[in-house]
């Protein structure tokens, strides 16, 4: 019999219950017991969903109150001393590492948090010391939760992050120089101890995640698998058998590592992302090893195409036999929303196209039956085939006009009329900008008043006219404050925007929106990405009204503000029936029309934000990455190149690690780039000299994530440092990012100092 398995389930619950409980606890509104009780309720509910769906192998220890890597930091006692010495309760210590702790005389910042592979989930980085030790916490979480499920009558397969990935995803703490992977010898015995405890509790198998196997690995990391897994093999029957799981990429380039897992029961691979690795992986398996075939997408919301999955599964079964194949989700379902059943507002035809976590677990179970006995699940298979067909043929999906327009795109459409020098000469005249021009990144404080009015409008409690006049008043306010501050290039403040992607999605054809499809981004933060269901086009201008009004009341140039095609794509659930490059080009064409319309309406500075450009970068070097960069850059250029030389194109990025990415950013040919820089070393800007970057740059001069108002002196010092690496006529003065999360008095205070500092240098040069 073929078994079904799930690699992990979302933690938040139907109505983001975990978010609510965590935040209530942080605000001292519920007790620690109440929070832990809620965690337990959610775990049991999620196990039951999977059991009721007929899943054979159900995970435990996939739940986390904040982050699962952070859980490992704590149960391996790898907590930095700045936290342990506070003598907080284990739960408070855990949250202190996740989000910082500023209470009762304790003041510690959070550990660093970064994106989990190429997903929008963030994990807490193991932060290691020169004299790092590890030991197993008392009553460790994986054992506790295994027993909890067992008590409820469910034998689970605990999930652990494997030792090599745990270390490779970590870093040396500030002031330490330890190479994380060198700590393997100290860590592995603690894993063995934990595995023994799991076995003693009754766990037969453990899922051990080594997702770093999809990366290009440094030789020392690669070499670490062998000793680690040999130590596990040496423990023999004293530990559960292991299924080594990889996801978000293929492992073919790391096949030389596989002998390290020869004692493992099986290997899990992601066949959604890389179906072509199936046959090579089959050949690599040991004579009795099983293949866990990840065919149900853990990263997207589309209904599984059963026919396609069954093909892959049949191939595996033909080679390995029924007992050696497990039908699985491609990765944890953490990256998908809880249940489609909550969506009451989706168009009925479209509803049939989707499958969220609670539906995906059923798909896994159905596929496992279908692969040996299709007649047993005939009705489900037929319904699936009908839904897949309906989507493929839907007019919602296919718009011939969009395809025609794409077919007619020419190479010239990607390039501005002239080179930067010619453009800049015209822009300078046209915009009459001073040296060290000051500007902001787009949004101003999203006050509770703005949210209240938007809510009223969405609910129909106020009319469109009333809402419009409210937005106008907000723009008036933003403009008058910029007059007072004496900034050089204004923004309208984005009061009308709920979210930088959803706002555009709602104005484009080809998108649908959910009401409850939240996905965890980090800790208690969730996002609700819009879904691209069909060919994208722009039925009408999206931002012209607000920008035009703002320009009409300002004495300085008003900057139009758009979200770029790559960011719109990345922060949505994309289609899987056409390549992402096709969707991105459609977005680019829609935005191109918007850019040209803005210009025609008197907006001569236009910023097209691409904060997600970098996260889309394929995980490995090579042809896939090169191809991505080519279509991503081309999409941006197609969106922005339709304007006259005298119109200035800006772009914005919220990250400072652009060294290895520099050529892509340079290739965008934006007249002005604003980038996050205030928290990093100004030395990072050296790349602009080294590469003789000709255009203009605004490295953020202060951190907008903090309420702190830096003194004028701090701004001056920062600008001074930047001038070591940038030519004065090249430098713009702006914050790190948009100001929507700040309060007006913080914004006014910081920008006053920023403008004064810019004026000081203007005098000086």
Active site residues: 705
Using CB under 6 A as the criterion, which residues of the chain lie in contact with ligand GLN when the complex forms? 441-443, 494, 500, 561, 609, 611, 652, 654, 737-738, 740
CA distance linking residue 72 with residue 140, whole number of Å: 9
Q: Which of 95, 124, 102, 77 is nearest to 36 (CA)?
A: 95
Both tokens of 713, joined, read: 């002196």
The residue length of the chain stands at 765
Enumerate residues 6+ apart whose C-beta is below 8 A from 428: none
DSSP code, position 325? E
The continuous run of DSSP H or E covering 505 comes out as helix 502-505
Enumerate residues 6+ apart whose C-beta is below 8 A from 694: 420, 421
Tell me which residue has its CB nearest to ligand GLN.
738
Of 12 and 500, CB closest to ligand GLN? 500
CA distance linking residue 562 with residue 114, whole number of Å: 26
Rounded to the nearest whole angstrom, what is the least distance from the CB of residue 567 to ligand GLN in the complex?
8
Place of tokens 């800790």: 523
Rounded to the nearest whole angstrom, what is the least distance from the CB of residue 747 to ligand GLN in the complex?
12
CA distance linking residue 261 with residue 252, whole number of Å: 15
| Residue 737 in contact with Zn ion, rule: CB under 5 A | yes
CA distance linking residue 549 with residue 491, whole number of Å: 11
Among 111-119, 293-301, 486-494, 604-612, which window interacts with Zn ion (CB under 5 A)?
A: 604-612
How do beta strands 648-653 and 672-675 pair? parallel
- Decide if 293 contacts 312 (C-beta within 8 A): yes
Which residues are 213's β-sheet partners? none
Rounded to the nearest whole angstrom, what is the least distance from the CB of residue 591 to ligand GLN in the complex?
14
Residue 500 interacts with, from ligand GLN, Zn ion, none (CB under 5-8 Å by kind): ligand GLN
Rounded to the nearest whole angstrom, what is the least distance from the CB of residue 702 to Zn ion in the complex?
13
CA distance linking residue 45 with residue 131, whole number of Å: 41
Of 503 and 760, CB closest to ligand GLN? 503
CA distance linking residue 726 with residue 720, whole number of Å: 10
CA distance linking residue 127 with residue 76, whole number of Å: 12
Residue 228 interacts with, from ligand GLN, Zn ion, none (CB under 5-8 Å by kind): none
Of 142 and 442, CB closest to ligand GLN? 442
Of 352 and 494, CB closest to ligand GLN? 494
Query: By CB under 5 A, what part of segment 361-400 binds Zn ion?
Result: none
Among 157-165, 528-536, 732-740, 746-754, which window interacts with Zn ion (CB under 5 A)?
A: 732-740
Rounded to the nearest whole angstrom, what is the least distance from the CB of residue 466 to Zn ion in the complex?
31
| Residue 612 in contact with Zn ion, rule: CB under 5 A | no
Size of the site for Zn ion (CB under 5 A): 3
- Decide if 269 contacts 7 (C-beta within 8 A): no
Place of tokens 């889309």: 616
Enumerate residues 6+ apart whose C-beta is below 8 A from 703: 678, 679, 736
| Residue 747 in contact with Zn ion, rule: CB under 5 A | no
Q: Which of 448, 329, 414 is nearest to 669 (CA)?
A: 414
Of 117 and 653, CB closest to ligand GLN? 653
Residue 56 interacts with, from ligand GLN, Zn ion, none (CB under 5-8 Å by kind): none
CA distance linking residue 539 with residue 556, whole number of Å: 30
Of 98 and 738, CB closest to ligand GLN? 738
CA distance linking residue 669 with residue 692, whole number of Å: 14
CA distance linking residue 685 with residue 691, whole number of Å: 10
Of 377 and 606, CB closest to ligand GLN? 606
Among 115-123, 502-510, 517-525, 648-656, which window interacts with Zn ion (CB under 5 A)?
A: 648-656
Rounded to the nearest whole angstrom, what is the least distance from the CB of residue 442 to Zn ion in the complex?
8
Rounded to the nearest whole angstrom, what is the least distance from the CB of residue 515 to ligand GLN in the complex?
23
Q: Is 754 left (phi over 0), alpha (psi -120 to 50) or beta?
A: alpha
Residue 443 interacts with, from Zn ion, ligand GLN, none (CB under 5-8 Å by kind): ligand GLN
CA distance linking residue 628 with residue 31, whole number of Å: 48
Of 292 and 438, CB closest to ligand GLN? 438
* Integer angstrom CA distances of residue 554 from 33, 152, 266, 544: 55, 65, 66, 15
Here's the x/- map for Zn ion, 679-718, by CB under 5 A: it reads as: ----------------------------------------
Rounded to the nearest whole angstrom, what is the least distance from the CB of residue 475 to ligand GLN in the complex?
15
Rounded to the nearest whole angstrom, what is the least distance from the CB of residue 481 to ligand GLN in the complex?
15
301, 317, 654, 722: which one binds Zn ion (CB under 5 A): 654
Q: Taking the mean position of all CA atoms in its chain, how far away is CA 68?
A: 16
Of 240 and 560, CB closest to Zn ion? 560
CA distance linking residue 206 with residue 200, whole number of Å: 13
Q: Which stretches of the chain bind Zn ion, using CB under 5 A?
A: 611, 654, 737
């Amino acid at each position: 019999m073929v078994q079904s398995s799930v690699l992990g389930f979302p933690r938040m619950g139907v109505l983001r219950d975990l978010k609510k409980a965590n935040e209530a606890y942080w605000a001292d509104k519920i007790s620690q017991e109440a929070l832990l009780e809620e965690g337990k309720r959610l775990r049991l509910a999620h196990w039951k969903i999977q059991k009721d769906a007929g899943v054979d192998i159900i995970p435990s220890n996939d739940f986390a109150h904040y982050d699962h890597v952070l859980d490992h930091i704590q149960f391996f006692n790898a907590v930095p001393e700045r936290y342990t010495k506070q003598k907080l309760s284990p739960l408070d210590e855990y949250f202190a590492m996740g989000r910082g702790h500023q209470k009762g005389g304790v003041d510690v910042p959070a550990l660093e948090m970064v994106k989990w592979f190429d997903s929008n989930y963030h994990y807490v980085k193991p932060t290691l010391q020169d004299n790092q030790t590890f030991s197993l916490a008392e009553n460790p979480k994986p054992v506790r939760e295994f027993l909890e499920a067992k008590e409820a009558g469910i034998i689970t397969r605990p999930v652990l992050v494997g030792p090599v990935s745990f270390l490779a995803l970590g870093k040396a703490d500030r002031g330490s120089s330890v190479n994380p992977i060198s700590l393997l010898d100290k860590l592995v015995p603690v894993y063995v101890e934990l595995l023994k405890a799991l076995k003693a509790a009754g766990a037969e198998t453990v899922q051990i995640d080594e997702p770093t196997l999809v990366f290009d690995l440094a030789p020392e990391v690669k070499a670490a698998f062998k000793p680690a897994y040999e130590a596990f093999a040496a423990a023999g029957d004293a530990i559960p058998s292991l299924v080594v799981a990889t996801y978000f990429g293929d492992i073919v380039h790391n096949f030389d590592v596989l002998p390290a897992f020869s004692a493992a029961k099986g290997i899990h691979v992601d066949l959604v992302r890389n179906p072509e690795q199936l046959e090579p992986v089959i050949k690599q398996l040991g004579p009795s090893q099983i293949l866990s075939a990840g065919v149900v997408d853990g990263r997207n919301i589309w209904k599984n195409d059963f026919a396609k999955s069954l093909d892959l599964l049949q191939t595996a079964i033909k080679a390995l036999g029924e007992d050696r194949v497990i039908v699985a989700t491609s990765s944890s379902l953490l990256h998908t929303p809880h249940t489609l059943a909550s969506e009451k507002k989706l168009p009925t035809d479209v509803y049939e196209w989707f499958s969220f976590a609670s539906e995906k677990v059923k798909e896994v179970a159905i596929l496992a039956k279908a692969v040996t006995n299709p007649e047993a699940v005939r009705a489900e298979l037929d319904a699936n085939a009908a839904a897949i067909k309906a989507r493929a043929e839907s007019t919602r999906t296919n718009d011939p006009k969009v395809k025609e327009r794409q077919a007619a795109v020419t190479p010239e459409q990607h390039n501005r009329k002239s080179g930067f020098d010619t453009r800049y000469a015209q822009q300078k005249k046209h915009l009459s900008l001073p040296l060290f021009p000051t500007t902001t990144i787009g949004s101003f404080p999203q006050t509770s008043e703005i949210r209240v009015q938007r809510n009223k409008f969405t609910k129909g409690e106020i009319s469109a006219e009333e809402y419009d006049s409210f937005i106008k008043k907000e723009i008036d306010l933003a403009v008058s404050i910029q007059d007072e501050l004496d900034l050089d290039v204004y923004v309208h403040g984005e009061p009308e925007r709920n979210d930088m992607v959803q706002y555009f999605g709602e104005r484009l054809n080809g998108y649908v929106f959910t009401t409850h499809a939240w996905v965890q981004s980090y800790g208690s933060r969730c996002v609700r990405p819009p879904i691209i269901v069909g060919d994208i086009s722009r039925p009408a201008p999206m931002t012209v009204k607000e920008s035009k009004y703002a320009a009409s009341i300002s004495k300085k140039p008003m900057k139009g503000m758009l979200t770029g095609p790559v960011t719109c794509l990345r922060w949505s659930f994309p289609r899987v029936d056409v390549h992402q490059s096709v969707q991105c080009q459609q977005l680019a064409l829609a935005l191109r029309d918007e850019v040209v319309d803005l210009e025609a309406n008197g907006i001569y500075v236009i910023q097209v934000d691409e904060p997600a450009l970098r996260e889309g970068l394929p995980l490995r070097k090579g042809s896939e990455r090169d191809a991505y960069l080519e279509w991503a850059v081309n999409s941006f250029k197609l969106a922005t190149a339709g304007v006259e030389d005298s119109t200035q194109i800006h772009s914005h990025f919220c990250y400072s690690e652009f060294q290895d990415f520099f050529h892509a950013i340079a290739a965008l040919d934006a007249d002005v780039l604003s980038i996050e820089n205030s928290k990093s070393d100004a030395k990072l800007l050296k790349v602009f000299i080294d590469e003789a970057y000709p255009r203009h740059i605004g490295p953020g001069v202060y951190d907008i994530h903090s309420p702190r108002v830096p003194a004028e002196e701090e701004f001056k010092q920062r600008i001074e440092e930047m001038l070591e690496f940038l030519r004065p006529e090249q430098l713009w003065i702006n914050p790190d990012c948009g100001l929507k999360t700040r309060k007006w008095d913080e914004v006014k205070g910081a920008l006053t100092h920023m403008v004064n500092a810019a004026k000081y240098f203007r005098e000086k040069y």
